[in-house]
Amino acid sequence: RKEVEQDPGPFNVPEGATVAFNCTYSNSASQSFFWYRQDCRKEPKLLMSVYSSGNEDGRFTAQLNRASQYISLLIRDSKLSDSATYLCVFTGGGNKLTFGTGTQLKVEL
Amino acid sequence: DTAVSQTPKYLVTQMGNDKSIKCEQNLGHDTMYWYKQDSKKFLKIMFSYNNKELIINETVPNRFSPKSPDKAHLNLHINSLELGDSAVYFCASSQARTGDFNEQFFGPGTRLTVL
């Protein structure tokens, strides 16, 4: 089983739609979880951390389910500018990040 | 004011050549990293330096040699380039506080093409 698995997509959604991505991880010792965003031909940037209690940042909601070993990202009211690849990331402690291969989102008019 | 910068942005070279990529950060961070993103977009850490000392060294061929002259710079030298080295190489930096995760800031990437 891969360390982290994501549906590569692409997810094609109309503007205003709600879209959700999941990411599963295999290492139960993983400690910290994040969603990064990567625009085409650009560097990854931290979107948000993910906490067991769930956390929200504007239109974005992230959740962690340790029992089932997955994290999720929900985007409400999608904007054209949300089009990007969303990378699931975790660390086992310290600063070594393990990245998923990403889920591509395309928001269309 | 670029926080993490890399040069060159694009690098096209022949197999067998030796090349270097430079990285500089002006964030005052103690820790710097090199990542490789291959054609399948898989981003994987290669090395990490904390205050000029190597702290992460993944299973990378020894043709790759990082060098950190000071904590603001982490360069990557690659000997005897191979076709499979073609990828985008990202430099990143973060604070070195223990405990909670410290956000990593990435440079714009260097797109290396080996012919």
Smallest Cα distance from B54 to chain A, Å = 13
Instruction: In whole angstroms, give the CA distance from residue B76 to residue B24.
Output: 11
Nearest CA in chain B to A95: B101
Chain A residues touching B45 at Cβ < 8 A: 96-98
Secondary structure class of A80 (helix, strand, coil): helix
Best mutation target, A3, A43, A46, to test chain B (most B CBs within 10 A): A43
Higher pLDDT, B78 or B101: B78
Write down the mean pLDDT value for chain A. 92
- Give contacts of A45 with chain B, Cβ < 8 Å: 106
Residue B1 has pLDDT above 70, yes or no: no
Q: At a CB cut-off of 8 Å and minimum separation 6, what does A33 contact? A: A25, A49, A50, A64, A71, A88, A89, A90
Is residue B97 predicted with pLDDT exceeding 60?
A: no
Peptide bond into B108 cis (omega under 30): no
Q: Which residue has the tokens 């993944």?
A: B58
